[in-house]
Amino acid sequence: MNAEHYKKAVVGAVNSYIRMINGDGKELIDNTWRSTVTDDGTFHIHLIVQGREETITLQKDEWIGLDNNLLGNSKLKELANRFKGAKQ
């Protein structure tokens, strides 16, 4: 599989986390986000979190490969954990 396949998996996981975090109409994280991949394979997730720009960085071995569970990724989980209980 090529990198484009894995990129789609990252996009799907990020969108899922944004939906879970925002929940019932809250917009803690802007739904419009972007990503970049550098020449060394590092995946940068550029988010707007509560009005501030924030970037999550995934090294190549964190997002490319059959063994990577992006929904279980520790960096995305950490983002979600910051907002536990924030939705009221």
| Closest-CA residue to 72 (of 84, 85, 63) | 63
Cα dihedral 11/74/31/63 (nearest 10): -20
State the residue range of the domain holding 63.
3-74
Instruction: Please indicate, yes or no, if residue 38 is contained in any of the structural domains.
Output: yes
Instruction: Please indicate, yes or no, if residue 45 is contained in any of the structural domains.
Output: yes
Q: What is the per-residue pLDDT across 24-41, written as a single tens digit (0 to 9) for each?
A: 778 899 999 999 999 999
- Under a CB-based contact definition with an 8 Å cutoff, are residues 59 and 45 in contact? no
Per-residue pLDDT, 88: 42
DSSP annotation of 84 reads T
Per-residue pLDDT, 83: 85
Proportion of the chain above pLDDT 90, given as a percent: 72
Question: Residue range 44-55: average pLDDT?
Answer: 97
Number of neighbours of residue 6 by Cβ within 10 angstroms: 20
Instruction: Please indicate, yes or no, if residue 83 is contained in any of the structural domains.
Output: no
Instruction: Please indicate, yes or no, if residue 85 is contained in any of the structural domains.
Output: no
